[in-house]
Structures are given as C-alpha cells and as structure tokens.
Amino acid sequence: QKEVEQDPGPLSVPEGAIVSLNCTYSNSAFQYFMWYRQYSRKGPELLMYTYSSGNKEDGRFTAQVDKSSKYISLFIRDSQPSDSATYLCAIKGTSYGKLTFGQGTILTVHP
Amino acid sequence: NAGVTQTPKFQVLKTGQSMTLQCAQDMNHNSMYWYRQDPGMGLRLIYYSASEGTTDKGEVPNGYNVSRLNKREFSLRLESAAPSQTSVYFCASSPVTSGRYNEQFFGPGTRLTVL
C-alpha cells in the first residue's frame, strides 16, 4: 500500500465549477500537509499547506485535513481556465525535510 | 534570484551511456533533493542532501549517484543509463527548518529519454 494515495483523474470541469481534490494517507505520524500545483512542463510550486485538522482558506482555495480519517482535500471555488494544472498532495512526517507525494490529479477547466 | 536551475533541459541517451544532471540554487538553502516524475507515479525521491557534505538515499536510488559539490550545487549521475530511467527529473531545495512544513522549491526539470 502506498503511503499516499491520490486519484489521478483526469478531471475536466466547466469554468465556475467547484473542484474537489483528495488524498488519503496511511501513516499517522505525518504532520504537515501540502498541496503543490504543477503547470504543464514546469516544476511544482507550493499552493497551500496546513499542519492541523480543519480548514485553511486562501482566496478561492480551501485545504481541509481530517487526521482521524487520514484524509486531505483541496477545494477550488469558481474554477478558472488558469487553474488547469496537475495538483499534487504532499505530506511531511518526522523524517527531516522529506516529503511523500501523491500521484497527482490532472485538472482541466474549460471555458 | 534565479531560484533553482537545472541543466540540461532535454537529453536523449543510448542504453549504457552515462551523464550528469546539474542543479544549482541561489537561495542559500541547506537541503537539496532529486526526484523523478513518471506518469501515474507522482514525484519519487531519488536522493537528498540534508546539508552540505551529506547525502542519503530516497525511495528509488538504484542506478543513480549524487554529489553535493558545495552548498549551491547538487548533481545526479547516471553511470549506465537504462530505458527504465526515461523520466522527468526535478531538483528541489529547502531551507533548514525543524518542526515546520519545510517548503521545497523546484527547478524546471530535465526531460531524459533513454533509447
């Protein structure tokens, strides 16, 4: 079993839709939870992070963590074509600096 | 600041050839990483260097070697390339932090094809 599982999609939605991206993880020692966004042929960039259960909001983006269920989500409201990218969840445990990434979900928002 | 730079951007090798992927960062970060990205597999850690002078194996180190040349530079070497090493390779760096999420900053990637 992979430490982090993410539905690879692809996911295609119309502009303005609410998008939900999800990951599950197996190791309860994981402490920090991140979402990276990767545009085509570019390196990933950090979008959001959180370290506790609950919600964290940043503009149209909301990151949600449920440690009891080992489940993390990213919600995108009023999705835009510029949101089209691959979204990767990443989780940091106790090992220094090391991140464990999900497989990535390819999102396309069409006008 | 250029951030994290990688050379080359593209490379085609024949099976058995060797090559070195170069990575440099100008953010004064202590930690550096090499990942490979394959379709449906996400990013997998090959090697990392927590600080200058140290290197450690990641999830998929077989067939690779690394050198932390100095604080800025971290290279990845393929001694005898195999088709299974066809992938996109990303270098990343992060500052020294403990107990924090430790954001990693990624380079633009090197697309490697081994024939």
A111 near B CB under 8 A? no
In B, minimum Cα distance to A86 occurs at B42
Give yes or no for residue A96 having a pLDDT over 80: no
Give yes or no for residue B51 having a pLDDT over 90: no
Closest alpha carbon to B69 in B49, B93, B89:
B49
pLDDT at residue number A107? 96
Secondary structure in 3-state letters for B24-61: EECCCCCEEEEEEEECCCEEEEEEEECCCCCCEECCCC
Q: What percent of chain B has pLDDT over 90?
A: 77
Contacts of A90 in chain B (CB under 8 A): 43
Give yes or no for residue B100 having a pLDDT over 80: no
Q: Which residues of B make CB contacts under 8 Å with A?
A: 4, 31, 33, 40-45, 48, 50, 58, 90, 92, 94, 97-98, 100-104, 106-109
Give yes or no for residue B99 having a pLDDT over 60: no
Give yes or no for residue B6 having a pLDDT over 60: yes
Per residue in A14-72, pLDDT (tens digit) is 999 999 999 999 988 878 899 999 999 999 999 998 887 888 999 999 999 998 999 99
Per residue in B75-88, pLDDT (tens digit) is 999 999 999 999 99
| Chain mean pLDDT for chain B | 92
Would you give the DSSP letter of residue A81?
A: G
Contacts of A96 in chain B (CB under 8 A): 31, 50, 98
The gap from C-alpha B19 to its chain's centroid, in whole angstroms, comes to: 13
Give yes or no for residue B97 having a pLDDT over 60: no
SS3 B66: strand
Would you give the DSSP letter of residue B90?
A: E
pLDDT at residue number A97? 64
pLDDT at residue number A7? 83
